[in-house]
Chains A and B, each alone.
Chain A
Amino acid sequence: MIPSKISRVTRFAVTVLFWLPLCFAVWYFLSILFVAPIASILDAVMTTSWPSLIVQVEQDGNRLLVTLQVVLQQSAQSEPRTALVKFHAHPLDYCYGIALYSALVLASTRQARRRLIKWIVGLLLLFVIAMMGITAQMIEVIIFQSLPQVGAPVDWSPIAYNTAAIAYKMTYLVLTPVAPIA
């Protein structure tokens, strides 16, 4: 047993816990700023991928408001009508890793310049992971939580549906929490 090495881990843990509340506060109060590019990118990607279903993805504070168009027909004789369905997606559910990662970097004993570079690179990776997670969440809501008429335009094979379900679970339960510490 070498006490100085064990106390280094303890010092690191305490330092992370010291920085964590501040990082969470800054993360939350600046969340509107980083949700904006997420909304823009997802709007471009999702409306291009499913133009007959997804009308718009826009920012609503620190949430995303997703607008879908659904064709409804009460009977074979009635006129089909188009309805707009809206739901909120929650990007912060996939972005809390930014606060933890920032606290880990701040607690690191490396040079400030190296820490800054590492932080920026890490943020970019966490941003990509957050985009994947939010996309998986939106697809999960459209396919599994909405009325059949909503998900109908997403005409996928059973394997694709299972992949979407696994992707949602993996991004929410695995990628998002593990990425900051990895």
Chain B
Amino acid sequence: MNRFFIGFLVIVISLFVVEATTVAQQSAVVPFTSGIATTVASILQLFDPQVGAHETMIWDKESEFAVTIEEGCNGVEASLVLIAAITAFPALWRQKLIGIAVGVFTVQALNLVRVITLFYLGQWSEVAFEWAHLYLWQALIMLDVLIVFLYWLHWISSSKQTR
């Protein structure tokens, strides 16, 4: 357990240091975040044609309310935590890659829900937006990381038993 925890800490710190570099930000994180904004706008435009997106900003053309997706809100940090946890745990590399792929997809899917709910909450109530943005959704995203990791642990455990 200690070995896993130390391995997790080393990997997560390394991933965050790499992610914080200008090269990683400009070549990967910012374009990825812009992609999230575009994806959210595309989804919302199916039933709300007033929504627009430009780079990392999403706005409502009618109310002129806008949000920008910043660090901490693009699901990258949560994905890195999950990747570090799965990588640090002893398992076959095939199992790790499947866990990372499914896990990151789950985190990003929930993050899309976060952005959409915050976008409409912000138009309804600033207090509710602040609360959901700073506290509730932060907790829910990390809870999602934990649950995905637990499901992955049970999957690899049951895979061992059936072999």
Contact = CB atoms under 8 A, between A and B. Distances in A.
Given A1-B162, A9-B151, A96-B138, 13 more contacts: A6-B151, A12-B147, A12-B150, A13-B143, A92-B134, A92-B135, A104-B146, A169-B71, A173-B16, A174-B12, A177-B81, A177-B142, A181-B145
A151 interface: no
B12 to A, nearest CB: 7
B55 interface: no
Interface of A: 1-2, 5-6, 8-9, 12-13, 16-17, 20, 24, 90, 92-93, 96-97, 99-100, 104, 166, 169-170, 172-174, 176-178, 180-182
A99 B147 contact: no
A174 B139 contact: no
B158 A178 contact: no
Interface in B124-163: 134-136, 138-143, 145-147, 150-151, 154, 157-158, 161-162
B139 A100 contact: yes
A15 B113 CA distance: 21
Nearest to B146: A181
**DSSP class of A's interface residues: helix, strand, loop or mixed?**
helix
B60 interface: no
B72 interface: yes
B101 interface: no
A172 B72 CA distance: 9
Contacts of B5: 182
A24 B132 CA distance: 11
Given A93-B134, A173-B72, A174-B16, A5 B158 contact: yes
B154 A100 contact: no
B28 interface: no
A8 B158 CA distance: 13
B146 A1 contact: no
B7 to A, nearest CB: 13
